[in-house]
Amino acid sequence: MTTTSPTRARRVLRALAIASCVPYVSLKIAWLSGSRVGIPDGSALLDNPGIMAALNLATVLMDAAVVVLALLFTQRWGLRVRAWLLAFPMWVATGLLGPIMVGFPLQLLTARDTAPREPFLDEWVFSVVYGGFIVQGLTLGTLFALYARDRWSRVWRGSVRELSPTLFRPVDRVTAVAASALLLVPSALHLLWISGSPHGLSAGRIAERSGDFSVLEGVRLLFAAVAVAGVLMLVFRLGRALPVKVPLALAWIGTGGVGCWGGWLLLSVLVPQTDPANEPTALMTLAYAGEMITGVLLACCVAAFLRRRGA
């Protein structure tokens, strides 16, 4: 981005990012207004109207943040915003949108293997909303990459072998190794569930398990592996011939996917269930909490790298 005005390409990306928020925000506002468009009779969304209203409002604000970020990345005043003030929401956006961008297309490929399940949302809602999320991820991610190149390209300049050995302190290395080891616990649970074991799953989840379920569990494993690989490559200078931007991108995307989705699913555990069969088990809660904690710990290593190399 120049210091005068954004290029035509960036203006187009900005417009697409903002436009892609419209379907999701429109649905949420409709639901907050009392409409049941896209919600079939018997949906679990109708069981706790107060909680659902609060969650709908929160997610509207989250999508509004996408609009703010799109503007920030394409306006001159965006270059004056403090780094942490935009890095954190962008990390969260990456973490929440990334698994959807990978998982939803794969779910479409396994649609024939989808088992009957209780009504939740009309099928068209998933296509409209997740399609919008994918466009958001592509456009906002591209805008962020261009913005970061203009403002912080020195942070990922050079190859891994050129990184200073003193860039990471002993506490960073201990944190990276400990978090990677702890992440093996939820990863082992996901692998167990992919293999067909019902151990640790709620009765409702077991009854509805299908190709979609396996895809989502596989995506969780993928992002865990990406997070660990990226962080360990940075902290211990592994893959020395690689450009720094490769492990940095892996660490950014992976830690976001692990930490943010773990936190989102942990939040879902707090929502009361009217059907005991859908009550999350202790092992499900452990998996979500473990992912959130380890994702944040690994992200702290990334933050330390960005802060020290950008100083």
pLDDT tens sequence across 157-199: 999 999 999 999 999 999 999 999 999 999 999 999 999 999 9
pLDDT of residue 182: 98
pTM over the 0.85 mark = yes
The full DSSP string for 61-107 is HHHHHHHHHHHHTTSGGGGGS-HHHHHHHHHHHHHHHHHHHHHHHHH
Q: What angle do CA 91, 84, 24 make, to 5 degrees?
A: 40
Judgement on whether residues 10 and 22 belong to the same structural domain of the protein = yes
Judgement on whether residues 223 and 134 belong to the same structural domain of the protein = no
Judgement on whether residues 129 and 173 belong to the same structural domain of the protein = no
Judgement on whether residues 169 and 183 belong to the same structural domain of the protein = yes
Last residue within a domain, chosen from 90, 123, 156: 156
In the chain, the number of structural domains is 2
Measured CA to CA, the distance from residue 53 to residue 63 in angstroms comes to 15
With H, G, I as helix, E, B as strand and everything else as coil, classify residue 210: coil
pLDDT of residue 111: 72
Neighbours of 157 (CB within 10 A): 12
Nearest CA among 307, 160, 144 for reference residue 235 = 160
Last residue within a domain, chosen from 97, 127, 156: 156
What is the rounded average pLDDT for all residues in the chain? 93
pLDDT band of residue 45 (cuts 50, 70, 90) is confident
pLDDT of residue 114: 53
Distance of CA 239 to the CA centre of its chain: 26
Nearest CA among 101, 98, 90, 104 for reference residue 62 = 90
pLDDT of residue 278: 83
Judgement on whether residues 246 and 309 belong to the same structural domain of the protein = yes
pLDDT of residue 158: 96
Is the pLDDT score of 66 beyond 60? yes
Judgement on whether residues 200 and 238 belong to the same structural domain of the protein = yes
Q: What is the mean pLDDT of residues 24-48?
A: 91
User: What are the backbone dihedrals phi and psi of residue 243, each rounded to the nearest 5 degrees, phi first?
Assistant: -65, 145
- DSSP 8-state assignment for residue 277: G
Q: Which two tokens stand for residue 26?
A: 């429109």
* Residue 114: domain span: 1-156
Model pLDDT for residues 110-124, shown as the tens digit of each residue: 875 555 566 688 989
Alpha-carbon separation of residue 5 from 71, 149, 212, 282 (angstroms): 12, 16, 44, 53
Last residue within a domain, chosen from 105, 137, 156: 156
Q: Which two tokens stand for residue 138?
A: 């592509």
Alpha-carbon separation of residue 197 from 205, 220, 263, 276 (angstroms): 12, 17, 24, 20
Measured CA to CA, the distance from residue 281 to residue 121 in angstroms comes to 24
Give the end-to-end CA distance of the chain in Å, rounded to a whole number: 22
Alpha-carbon separation of residue 105 from 92, 101, 131, 142, 239 (angstroms): 21, 7, 9, 20, 30
Judgement on whether residues 120 and 172 belong to the same structural domain of the protein = no
Measured CA to CA, the distance from residue 107 to residue 215 in angstroms comes to 6
Model pLDDT for residues 200-250, shown as the tens digit of each residue: 999 988 988 888 899 999 999 999 999 999 999 999 999 999 999 999 999
Judgement on whether residues 131 and 167 belong to the same structural domain of the protein = no
User: Which amino acid makes up residue 179?
Assistant: A
Judgement on whether residues 169 and 276 belong to the same structural domain of the protein = yes
Task: Mean pLDDT check: name the lowest of 29-33, 204-208, 289-293.
Answer: 204-208
Q: Residues 291, 186: contact at Cβ < 8 Å?
A: yes
Judgement on whether residues 88 and 224 belong to the same structural domain of the protein = no
Q: What is the mean pLDDT of residues 78-94?
A: 95
Judgement on whether residues 117 and 222 belong to the same structural domain of the protein = no
Model pLDDT for residues 251-289, shown as the tens digit of each residue: 999 999 999 999 999 998 888 877 788 889 999 999 999
Judgement on whether residues 62 and 118 belong to the same structural domain of the protein = yes
Is the pLDDT score of 72 beyond 90? yes
